[in-house]
Each structure stands twice: as structure tokens, then as C-alpha cells.
Chain A
Amino acid sequence: MSAPRLQNFDFRSSTYERPSQTWVCGRSSTGCPCERGPDQRGRCRTTTECQPRRSGDGWACNRPAAAGGACSQGPLEDGRCCRTVPPCMPVRSLRSRRGLTTVWATLLSLAALFVIFGGSMNAQLLHPGPMIKGHAEIQNCASCHVAFEGGPLHWLAASLRPSDPLADSSKCLACHNKTKDALNPHNLGKPKLDQLTEIAATQHADTSAPWTVDASRFAFPLARDAADGPLACAACHEDHHGEWANMMQVANARCQSCHTVTFEAFSSGHPGFGSYPYLRRTRISFDHDSHNRKHFPEEAKKGTRVPETCDTCHEPDSSGHLMVTTRFEQACASCHGKDITGDTVAGVKGVPVIALPELDVDTIAERGLWIGEWPEDAIAPKISPFTKLLLAADPTTADDLKVVDELDLLDLSDANDGQLAAVGRVVWGIKELLYDIATSGMGILQTRVEASLNHSLDTDTVGRLIGHIPQDVIVAAARVWFSRLSSDVVRFRSQKAAGVTPGVIHGDSGSDKLSDQQLLQLDDDQIDPGDELLQLDEAGQPSGDVKVRAKKAAAAEPEPEAEPAAAPEPEAAETAAEPAEPAEPAAEDTAGDEAPAEPAAAGEPPRPVARPATGDLAAAAATDLETIVDPEEWAEAGGWFRKDFTLYYRPVEHEDSFVRTWLDIGANAFGTPAEHYGEALFAMLNDKNTPGRCTKCHSVDRQPGGALMVNWQPFQPKSTEVPFTNFVHDAHFSALEDKGCVACHQLSPGAKYQDSYQGQDPTKFVSNFAPMQRELCAECHVQSSAGDNCTMCHQYHIGDFTQATMSTKMAALDQPATAGAAPAPAAPAADANAPPAADVPAAADAPATALPAAPGVAIAEAPWFERLPQMLASMLQWLAPGVSHELERPDLPQMAPDAAPPDPAPRADAGS
């Protein structure tokens, strides 16, 4: 049987529903609701089944048909219904319950908002989420948000205030301001940006922007050119997206919003690489082409080990980003090691450091110039650049050196008196130099080099400058070259102190000329009186033993000839077979400060005391030994050796500190008054007949100030420097297949690579390799494959970023540790980290209201809908002009319109 129809909608049998009313009859659920229903306040108003109506003189039942129609009893006499019903308990309608729920939910939400916004835990509750790991220690919102200070009312006011794009950025810079122009695009100043923009616009004018960029610029143009000024950090970096969020992720399109040159994608429209990565000549001059085609095959035939693969010489750095050059010993030494040690040099395999130049002693003697003892076999044609630099410490000698450079020291017959006097002073300078080094130690070298170059040197540098030369080398040289250096110098200085014009002092005229043969035949006792340098005390004075021995020698030997004319001629000395004519009385030699020898008689020019040749001294010494090795051969493994009247240094190995330091000294002399010494040093150390030959491979760059710089190292990535383009080599190894490095680095045969090293400008060069092709990269670097994000290859913040460091005061070490004390959070130091007003340039006095509209601030003008809070504030101000709707601005660091962002005080807890 089908179900009966339950509802009737006719007037008589259908009840009237009131679903919109707040209350409904409590009897509805029992199936017999009343007709009237409750009142608006939820009270039952039905006491009887009907409300009788008057009918004539009586009353008639008015019960509706739906409730059964008129009852049989009818109303009472007084007009009341006879059928009373007990009152019900009205209930809320469903709609009313829903409304009530809404009201309660709203009230609850308001209460929750009040707690969240104004409660003591508001910071925690409103915290929008965890920050990245690097910001994990920041506990105070005020460390980053200027508006946080002041509480909820300030927050409310701040929300109604125009946004200051740089106020919070200054908080960021308290820790991150490690470079200049930190807020400028690419950390570059406007002039540089303008320059780059002009270059880009000129070189890549044919590129076209994608329509999206044009549309964006049309719909939402930047208020000002972004290159005009700083950009808020928050324009690109947003935190509170979790510990592992990438705050540096930037969409490609955002990069193009500022750039003059825009394009569709890396594979479509990206400008070519130009000369990248060959932006300058390599620091190490290495012609890949000639080595590959010529040198390697030739050396291989000789059996020399030559590189077979690129990784013999190149290897990834620790980060894997760059390919760096391996060590010299691995890559170059098999062929070029001999260049350094001088094995391939035709002449003497050493660098002449101190050499006694050959002098025209006859002319000097004829002109009455006393220079004391001077070896007649000194054969150096010129004064060594090293010696010159050391002599130039005395300004007078420096001038004399310039005069001497113009002279032929082998023939001074044409020299005038002034020039000859200059020669004399230089000669005495050399002797004093030797004497001073031997008697005063290495400090004299430091003093002289510092004086010559006008800058100070540390002990390490001095040590490298002298090649850690043993004392014996100097003393032995002085002893062999000069038999009475000490007495000569002491006498010279005493006369100089007495006011006698240096260089024209008439010294003794004793015959000091001894032939090599005579000298070699001297026994120790005969040499000792003049060889007090071997026994100098610490003060540089002859020791007592020397004096005693000198007296003994004086007593045992004949009186020296007082007259200069009686001095034996060198030729005579050479023919003398016996060592019967000592050069000087020992007493005079050792007591030069007591009684200098009488000068020659007036009118008689003194004879220069010629030191006999000692070049064969070693051979003479061999008389005691069966054989003696040649000094040059002795220094086969490098180091100091003396040959003839020259003291040589032979480079020990690659990176020889002596040669390198002197090259640096010479390089730094360029652009200074001592430049000609630097030139001379450079010329000698780089001569192809001199061991070392460092600059054959190590290029020399001219510095802005004029000084030179030897590139001792190949390109070394600087850990603190962030380049604009970043290529990761090791990520590409798997994609190179069989081609290897050549896939990208293709040689450019015939390129004038070596010509690039003729000058000293590293940017003027011809690369050994053909330019790289963007299309090669674009084979993989498309959006669907290896990706083509701008930031994959390019960095936004570029430059040299200072390494973060600590500046803990030593006093902190004395503070006792507190058990369980938590480290002080970084956040409370926010105010202290803010740049002091005094540090802020120019705009420090500008009114605070000028901040948001500071010219030069590259912010996008907010559309109208984003200014709704400000409009609301204005409206409130208009409605209630007497009431302030904006709270005081907190004191913010002022930003000068054209100035770089303030450099905040360094933080002890600064992180990178």
C-alpha cells in the first residue's frame, strides 16, 4: 500500500508556518502546535484552544478548522474558551539558532582578536611563522620591524601610516651591510649603473621585451627608475615562510622589470656572452695553442713528461665552481723548473746581488781621489741594482748614483771633478754598505730599503729580501775583497766627521797593491791585521784579540812606507814573489779612530790603494785541500755563492722568496720617486740570462697608482667576493661526454695571445680561446630541462662582502660563566645596532615626513586600493579634526636621498 499524502495546503486544513520567527510553539514536535505561537520574546501566549468571537449577544467558538473546527461545548458565558490548554515552552526556530550561533561566534572572535592583538602573547600569536635558519636566534620582532616598538596601538597607527620602504631595511643592514651601496641595485652606485645601462642599451639594442614585461610596465609602471636609488630588502626577500624557505628566490620576470635589455628567455633573446669568461688576460701567461701544437710534442720526443689531459693542470676548486690551475710542480716544473734555477742560463747561474764594479783606479789616483783599497780585478761593468737601491737610502748617494750611471767607470779620464767626486762617494758607499752589514747586521738592510722606498718593512720581508744570507757570506766577501775594509771605513768616517769633503779625502798612500799571487801567498798572520772583520765584536769594533794580533804584526813587519809615492805599483806587486809588503800597518788598521793616516803631502796626488786580485782565492785555498768545488757549482741547489767580486744568489726553487720579494719591491717602486730602481731591478731579474725569469709566466699588471703588480698566483676565487655570473663547473662534467673541456673551451689557433703580455693592461688582450656560444648552454638550459632562471647563473648582490667577525672585548673573558644562563638573544640589541644619527649623512636633519617620499627611493607607487588605510585615516581626520589619528613616528634612521645607506655600527653578534 502506498503512503498516504500527509500535507494539505488548503486554507482550512493547513497550518501557517513562520520559519523566520525567532520562537516556535513548544508543541510542534508533538503534532499539535497552537495557532498563535509564542510572542517575540519567546513567551507562550496561548491559554485556550481558541479566542471566541462575539456572535450576536453571545459568543461563538473560533477554533480553526485545522485544529478541529468549532467545538461542541462552545465558549463560556463570559466569552472565554471552555477548552483551556496548559502553556507550552516555546523553542527557538532553526533560523534563530543559526543567528544566535553567528552572534556568539562573532563575539568569540572579537574576544579572540582582543586577546591576540592586545594580550601579552600577541607577538607569539601574530608571528606569521618560523624564520629561516639564519634568523633563528632573532626573538624580538623589533629587531627587524621598526613598527613593533610601541605596542598594539602603534601597530594600528603604523598600519594607517604611509609605508616607509627603507625603515625596516635599515634593520636588515644592521647585520647584512657588508658591502657598499647595499640597497642599491646590484650593490652598485648610480654612476656605475648608468654606465652599465648605457653599455647594455648600446650593445644589445636589438633585443625585445616579451609582451608580459611590456604589459607589466604599462599597467604598473615603476614610480621611478630603479637605478635612481635604494630598494627595500623586502621587495625581494620575505621571511616567515619556514626554516628552509628560500629567501633568495626571484622570478625571472622581476629581474626584467628594471633591466633595459629584456628578452623572452635564456634560449630566446638572451644577449651573447661576449668575451665571457675571458674578461682579462690570464694571470699566468700560458699559450695553450703553442704548447699544444709545438712545445708538448717536442718535449715528448725528448722524453719529458708533458700533460696528456686538461686535468693535469686544471682541477676544480673546493667548491667545485671554478677550475683552478694546479701547482707549478705538477703542471710546469718538468719543463720550466730549469728556467728558475738557471740551468738554462748561458752565463753565471745566479743573480748578482752585490758586485764591485770595475773602476778606472788610475784616473782616480791621478786626480787625487782617495777611495782606499779597491780590488783591481773587480769586473762588474755596473753597480748592481740591488746595491743601488741600498745605496739610495742616502739622498746624496742617490744623486751621485744618477751621476755615476752616466759615466763609464772603466774610463773616467773625461769625468770632471764633480763626477769623479760622485764616483768616490759611491765607492765609499759600497764599502760602507759592506762594512755596515757586516758590523751592524741585517737591520741595516731594512733601514736602507725602507729609506729608499719610503715605506716600512716587516721582519719577514726583510728576511726574504736578504735571502736569509748567512753572516759568513758577507764577512767572507768583505774579507776577501778588502784586506782592510774596517780601517778604511773607520778612517773615512772620521775624516768625514772632521769636515773633510767626502770623496776628495786624501787617504794614506801606502802601497796596498798586491798581486793575486802575493795575496794568495799571504798566511793568516799577515792577513789578520787587516781582517778584523772576522773578529768584530758586537759593537762593530775590532776585538781586543784583533788589536793584539795587529800590534804583533806591526812589530814583526817593516814600517809601512809613509809616502804615497813609495807605494808599490800594482804591476810591481804582481811581480813580487814574497808577501813582504803588507798593505797596511796593523796598528793603523785596527785603530782607525785613533790616528788616521796622514794624507799625502800637499801637491802630490794620493794613489788609490789597489786591492790585489783575489779571484783565484778559491784556487789558492785548494792548495790546502786536494780539490775545491767551484762556488757556482756548490750552489747548484740554490743559495748564495761568491764568484770573483760578485755575490750571487741562485734561486732555490719555484716561489723563491728572495727573487719574489725583490720583484715585489721593484714593482711597488713604480709610480714612486724610486721608480728607476724598480725598473733596474725588473730589468735584471727578468733578463733572459738571469735565473728566475719569473715574469716569463707571471704577468705584470699596472695598478691604478702606477705601481706594478706581479701576478704570483693564477686566478684564485676570493671567498668573500661574489661575482655577477656564477658558473659551476663540476655540475657540468657529466654533460660533457667525450668532448670534455673542449666542448666549451675551444682553442683559437693563431690568436696573438702572447702579444697581450707586452703591455701591462690586463684588459687589453687576445684570448687563447674562441668566444663561448650561448646556444651551447641553451641546449640544456631551457625551462623544461635544466632550468633557465636568471639566478641560476647570476647573482643580484655582487661585490666584495666583508667576512663577518666578532669583536669580543678581552674584558669579557674575566666574567664568570653563569650556569644555565642562556645566551643573550640578538634581538634586544636592535636599537644599539641602529646606525647613530651622526653616521647618517646629509639627510639626518630632514623631517621624518620626508622619508616615505624621499627622492631617489625606487618604490612602486601604490595603487589606490593599497592606499585604503591611508584614505581611512584621512577620512577620520576629516570627521574629527581635533583628534589625532596617527601616533608619533618612532625615531628612524634617516636616509639621504643620494647617499649610500647608513653604515651601522658593527654588531658583536653579526652573522653573515
Chain B
Amino acid sequence: MNAFAQRRLRNLALTGMSAGILIAINQLYDMSLRDAAFMNGWVLFAGMVFLSLFNLRKKLNVLPLVPAGAWLQMHIYVGGLCSLLFLLHSEFVLPNGTFETILWLLFVVVVVSGFTGLLLSRILPPRMDARGERVIFERIPFLRAQVARQVQELAMRSVQETRASTIADFYVKELAPYLYRPRNFLGNLVGSHRAERRLHVAIQALERYLDERGRAILGEIDALITAKANLDYQYALQLVLKLWLFFHLPLNYSLMLFSVLHIVIVYAFSAGAP
């Protein structure tokens, strides 16, 4: 068993034990004629505060705090515990008040987005590694422009060297729209390469109209098309890896604010529930 598996097993065991303890405490607390929602609510809120501190920790990278990787691990497992606490707190029923429904939806969206991000971060990187070159997300526009420029140059050169406009015409008609912007976003997410294959088929069909030099240029273009398709693939997957945070983070702060008001309301109108 490697270190990663050991770490995962250890963390899962700790999380499971914590969940068991939380459930037991919740039950014992409820048995004591108290309202367990107060107890598990405060624990849940504390967990949410801890989870929110992860973002702060990433911003304060100069401080000698626990490494961000360890924070991330704690963030994941505490997030799981908070989900359990949320179920206990909401007593496994859907809310039916306006405010509580908003609060419930916020929590659900934050949790679902978080687990979605976790899932994506486990699924997508291997897929990106399995296909072509891994590129830095911020460099993709630059590289895409670079590929487009190279294909354009090849098309121009083919006119000079082959004395024919076959490749140039093909470039203008088919390749230029494909090269100058990201393409096949959804297809890339689901692993479909149909658009890329269609271009390759078209390129192969063009070969019979070219001479030797023309076919050499067309081969280079074909390679660049493959590179562009890989860039699109990397772009789609990396963008998704970044986009889930657009839900997770902003809504988390909304959730914290709504939670504070929830606490105020609960304590104001607890009706004497112990």
C-alpha cells in the first residue's frame, strides 16, 4: 500500500469515527430532552467557519501555517462531516419556509459544488494527462494563437510552393474558423473527438489533390490541428476545474451570512426549546 492510499485510508477512518461520534452525541443529546438542533447546529457552523478559512489560508501563503495540501485534505473531510451534520440538523426533511429554503439551497449548492470540484479534480487531471501535452491554462490563448498563426503561414507557403490554392482554400473555408477560438467545448468534456476527426478526414481527403510538397505541408497542418484539438481539450477541462469555484466560493460567503441570521432567528424564537 502506497503512501497515498495509506493517507486516504487513515483520513477516511478518522472521518468515519468522527461521524460516528457526532451521530452518537447527537442522539444522546436528543435523548436528554434537549433540542439536538442547537448542538449539531453549532457544530455545523463551526465546521463551516473552518471550511471558509481554507480560502483565507490560500491568500495568506506567507504565514507559516499548515501546508495548503493538508488544509485541502482537512477541507474535504470536514466538508463531508458538515454534510452529515447538515442532514442531522435539517432532520432529513426539506425546508418549507422562504428563508430556510434559501439557506438550505445555499448549503446544498456549496456542498454539491465542493464535491463536484473534488470529483472533477480526481477525474479530469488523469484524462488531461492521457491526451497530449499538459499546458498551463493561462497560456492556452497564446498557444492557440501561435498554432493558428503557424497554420496560416503553412497555408500561405503552400500557395508559393505548390502553385495551387487547394490548401489555402481549405484553410480559409475550414481551418481558420476552427483555429481562432476554442471549439468543441462540450464534446471535450464528455470525451467526444468528432469535430477533430472530421477535420482529419477532410485533410486526408485533400491529399489526393496535392503533390508531394503539398502533402508534406498538409501533414504539418494536420499535426497542428491535432495540437489545437488538444489545446481545446485542455482548455475545456481546466476551465471546468476552475469554474466550479465560481459557485463554491461566492455562495459560501452568502451561506455564512445567511447562517448568522438563521442563528439570530432561532435564538429569538426558540420558544423555550432547551
Do the two chains bind?
yes
C-alpha spacing A212/B26, complex, angstroms: 12
A167 → B minimal CB distance (Å): 7
Cβ A220 vs Cβ B28 within 8 A: yes
Interface centre among B27, B96, B132, B242 (most CB of A within 10 A): B96
Asked if A113 lies at the interface with its beta carbon under 8 angstroms from chain B, I say yes
C-alpha spacing A233/B274, complex, angstroms: 10
Beyond A2-B223, A3-B223, A159-B265, whether A212 also contacts B253 by CB under 8 A is no
- Closest B residue to A126 by beta carbon equals B99
For this complex, 10 residue pairs linking A to B, each with C-beta atoms less than 8 Å apart, are A6-B143, A102-B250, A105-B250, A109-B257, A110-B257, A155-B269, A168-B271, A233-B271, A233-B272, A860-B33
Asked if B95 lies at the interface with its beta carbon under 8 angstroms from chain A, I say yes
Cβ B97 vs Cβ A127 within 8 A: yes
Which chain B residues border A156 with CB–CB below 8 Å?
264, 268
Question: Looking at the complex, which of A253-261, A281-289, A650-658 is the stretch in contact with chain B?
Answer: A253-261
Which chain A residues border B268 with CB–CB below 8 Å?
145, 147, 154-156, 158-159
C-alpha spacing A241/B99, complex, angstroms: 14
Cβ A240 vs Cβ B274 within 8 A: no
**Chain A, range 818-837, C-beta contacts under 8 Å to B:** none
Question: Looking at the complex, which of A27-35, A56-64, A300-308, A600-608 is the stretch in contact with chain B?
Answer: A27-35
Per-position binary interface string of chain B over residues 249-273, scored 1 when its CB falls under 8 Å from any chain A CB and 0 otherwise: 1110110011001011111111111
Beyond A156-B264, A258-B33, whether A7 also contacts B253 by CB under 8 A is no
A594 → B minimal CB distance (Å): 85
Question: Looking at the complex, which of A526-534, A758-766, A792-800, A863-871 is the stretch in contact with chain B?
Answer: A863-871
C-alpha spacing A19/B93, complex, angstroms: 43
Which chain B residues border A4 with CB–CB below 8 Å?
223-224, 227
Cβ B257 vs Cβ A113 within 8 A: yes
Cβ B39 vs Cβ A865 within 8 A: yes
Beyond A3-B132, A129-B95, A234-B271, whether A860 also contacts B250 by CB under 8 A is no
Beyond A1-B220, A109-B253, A159-B265, whether A116 also contacts B99 by CB under 8 A is yes
Per-position binary interface string of chain B over residues 97-123, scored 1 when its CB falls under 8 Å from any chain A CB and 0 otherwise: 111101000000000000000000000
Cβ B267 vs Cβ A253 within 8 A: no
Which chain A residues border B269 with CB–CB below 8 Å?
141, 145, 147-148, 155, 158
Interface centre among A3, A154, A256 (most CB of B within 10 A): A3
**What is the total number of residues of chain B having a CB less than 8 Å from a CB of chain A?**
71
**Chain B, range 215-255, C-beta contacts under 8 Å to A:** 219-220, 222-224, 226-227, 230-231, 242, 245-246, 249-251, 253-254
Asked if B34 lies at the interface with its beta carbon under 8 angstroms from chain A, I say yes
Cβ B224 vs Cβ A3 within 8 A: yes
Question: Looking at the complex, which of B12-20, B144-152, B184-192 is the stretch in contact with chain A?
Answer: B144-152
Asked if B141 lies at the interface with its beta carbon under 8 angstroms from chain A, I say yes
Cβ A17 vs Cβ B30 within 8 A: no
Which chain A residues border B250 with CB–CB below 8 Å?
98, 101-102, 104-106
Asked if A320 lies at the interface with its beta carbon under 8 angstroms from chain B, I say no
C-alpha spacing A102/B251, complex, angstroms: 7
Beyond A3-B230, A5-B133, A29-B145, whether A866 also contacts B39 by CB under 8 A is yes
Asked if A15 lies at the interface with its beta carbon under 8 angstroms from chain B, I say yes
Beyond A7-B133, A7-B135, A256-B31, whether A163 also contacts B267 by CB under 8 A is yes
C-alpha spacing A216/B24, complex, angstroms: 10
Cβ B272 vs Cβ A166 within 8 A: yes
Asked if B173 lies at the interface with its beta carbon under 8 angstroms from chain A, I say no
Q: Which residues of A contact B (CB under 8 A)?
A: 1-7, 15, 17, 19, 24, 28-33, 93-94, 97-98, 101-102, 104-106, 108-110, 112-113, 116-117, 124-130, 141, 144-145, 147-148, 154-156, 158-160, 163-169, 212-213, 215-217, 219-222, 226, 231-235, 238, 240-242, 251, 253-254, 256-258, 859-860, 862-863, 865-866, 868-869
- Closest A residue to B33 by beta carbon equals A257
Beyond A155-B264, A257-B32, whether A167 also contacts B272 by CB under 8 A is yes
Asked if B25 lies at the interface with its beta carbon under 8 angstroms from chain A, I say yes
- Closest B residue to A104 by beta carbon equals B250
Cβ A213 vs Cβ B31 within 8 A: yes
Which chain A residues border B43 with CB–CB below 8 Å?
865
- Secondary structure type dominating chain A contacts: helix
Beyond A3-B226, A7-B133, A113-B257, whether A19 also contacts B138 by CB under 8 A is yes
> Contacting A109 at CB < 8 Å: which of B146, B245, B254, B264?
B254
Which chain A residues border B258 with CB–CB below 8 Å?
109, 113
Cβ B98 vs Cβ A232 within 8 A: no
C-alpha spacing A126/B224, complex, angstroms: 59
- Closest B residue to A1 by beta carbon equals B223
B231 → A minimal CB distance (Å): 7
Per-position binary interface string of chain B over residues 66-108, scored 1 when its CB falls under 8 Å from any chain A CB and 0 otherwise: 0000000000000000000000000001011111101000000
C-alpha spacing A128/B34, complex, angstroms: 20
Which chain B residues border A148 with CB–CB below 8 Å?
269
Per-position binary interface string of chain B over residues 131-164, scored 1 when its CB falls under 8 Å from any chain A CB and 0 otherwise: 0110111110111111111000000000000000
Cβ A129 vs Cβ B219 within 8 A: no
List 5 tightest A-B contacts by C-beta distance, closest first.
A31-B145, A105-B250, A232-B272, A129-B96, A165-B272
C-alpha spacing A14/B39, complex, angstroms: 55
Cβ A155 vs Cβ B265 within 8 A: yes
Asked if B29 lies at the interface with its beta carbon under 8 angstroms from chain A, I say yes
> Contacting A7 at CB < 8 Å: which of B39, B136, B148, B246?
B136
> Contacting B32 at CB < 8 Å: which of A5, A222, A240?
A222
Beyond A216-B31, A254-B33, whether A2 also contacts B273 by CB under 8 A is no
Given contact pairs A4-B227, A108-B254, A868-B42, enumerate 4 new A-B contacts (beta carbons under 8 Å): A3-B133, A28-B141, A163-B272, A222-B32
- Closest B residue to A170 by beta carbon equals B272
Cβ A232 vs Cβ B274 within 8 A: yes
Asked if B38 lies at the interface with its beta carbon under 8 angstroms from chain A, I say yes
Which chain A residues border B33 with CB–CB below 8 Å?
222, 226, 231, 235, 254, 257-258, 860
C-alpha spacing A241/B148, complex, angstroms: 61
Which chain A residues border B146 with CB–CB below 8 Å?
6, 31
Which chain B residues border A97 with CB–CB below 8 Å?
246
B55 → A minimal CB distance (Å): 9
C-alpha spacing A859/B273, complex, angstroms: 9
Beyond A3-B230, A113-B261, A145-B271, whether A860 also contacts B97 by CB under 8 A is no
> Contacting B138 at CB < 8 Å: which of A24, A219, A254?
A24
Which chain B residues border A154 with CB–CB below 8 Å?
268
C-alpha spacing A4/B229, complex, angstroms: 12
C-alpha spacing A19/B238, complex, angstroms: 14
C-alpha spacing A158/B270, complex, angstroms: 10
- Closest B residue to A163 by beta carbon equals B270
C-alpha spacing A378/B274, complex, angstroms: 81
Cβ A221 vs Cβ B32 within 8 A: yes
Which chain B residues border A158 with CB–CB below 8 Å?
267-269
B24 → A minimal CB distance (Å): 8
- Closest A residue to B38 by beta carbon equals A866
Which chain A residues border B142 with CB–CB below 8 Å?
15, 28, 31-33
Beyond A109-B254, A256-B31, whether A238 also contacts B144 by CB under 8 A is no
Which chain B residues border A865 with CB–CB below 8 Å?
39, 42-43, 46
Which chain B residues border A256 with CB–CB below 8 Å?
31
- Closest B residue to A166 by beta carbon equals B272
Which chain B residues border A167 with CB–CB below 8 Å?
272
- Closest B residue to A238 by beta carbon equals B273
Which chain A residues border B231 with CB–CB below 8 Å?
6
- Closest B residue to A116 by beta carbon equals B99
A162 → B minimal CB distance (Å): 10
Beyond A15-B139, A257-B32, whether A6 also contacts B98 by CB under 8 A is no
C-alpha spacing A862/B36, complex, angstroms: 11
Which chain B residues border A147 with CB–CB below 8 Å?
268-269
> Contacting B274 at CB < 8 Å: which of A32, A159, A165, A215?
A165
C-alpha spacing A856/B43, complex, angstroms: 30
Which chain B residues border A257 with CB–CB below 8 Å?
31-33
- Closest A residue to B225 by beta carbon equals A3
Which chain A residues border B30 with CB–CB below 8 Å?
251, 253-254
C-alpha spacing A28/B274, complex, angstroms: 61
